[in-house]
Amino acid sequence: MIKSYLIYFLTGGIFTVLIVAAEESGYRMLSGFATLMPVFTLVAYAFIGETSGAKAVGQNAWFVLVGTIISWIPYMIVVAYLAPRYGSRIAIGTGLALFFILAAIYIPIVYHYHWFGE
C-alpha cells in the first residue's frame, strides 16, 4: 500500500514540476495548456479505476464537476480579478478562502442527500 501511495505522489508531483518548469522556461502556451488539463483528476481517476472500478470514477467525476462549478469557478474569478490589483498572494489567499468556504458548504450537502453515490 505504501508503494502505491508513493507512486501516486510521484506521478502528481512530476506533472506539477513539468508545468512550473515550462512556465519558468518561457513556454507559457505549453504551461497554460498543461494547467488546463485535469492532471490531478486524470492521475487520480486512473488509479481509482484500478482500485475501485469504473462506477467509483463516474461518481467522483459527477461530484467534482458540480463542485467545480460551485467552488472552483468562483475561486478562479477572484484570483483573476484580484491578482492585477493586489498581487498574487492576496488574490490566491482570498480565492482559497472563498473556495474552502464554498466547498465546506457543498460537501456536507452532497453527503447528506447521498448525491453521486451510495
Give the chain's residues under pLDDT 70. 118
Q: Report how many domains make up the chain.
A: 2
32 and 43 both lie in a single domain: yes
The predicted pLDDT at position 97 comes to 98
Helix-helix angle 54-67:39-52, to 10 degrees: 150
Give yes or no: residues 5 and 63 share one domain: no
| 73 and 102 part of one domain | yes
Task: Give the integer Cα–Cα distance in Å for 56 and 51.
Answer: 9
Same domain, 8 and 22: yes
Q: What is the DSSP letter of 56?
A: H
CA distance 84 to 99: 19
Q: Are residues 65 and 20 in the same domain?
A: no
Which of 39, 40, 22 minimizes the C-alpha distance to 31? 22
Q: Are residues 59 and 47 in the same domain?
A: no
pLDDT, position 118: 64
Q: Give the model's pLDDT for residue 60.
A: 93
| pTM for this model (two decimals) | 0.73
How many Å from the N-terminal Cα to the C-terminal Cα in the chain?
Answer: 25
Whether residue 106 sits in one domain with residue 83: yes
Looking at the fold, whether 76 and 86 belong to one and the same domain comes out as yes
- Within 13 Å, how many C-alpha atoms sit on residue 65's CB side? 8
Domain that holds residue 110: 54-118
Which cell is 60 given? Answer: 467522483
Residues 37 and 69 in one domain: no
H runs (alpha helix) in the chain: 2-24, 28-36, 39-52, 54-67, 73-86, 88-113
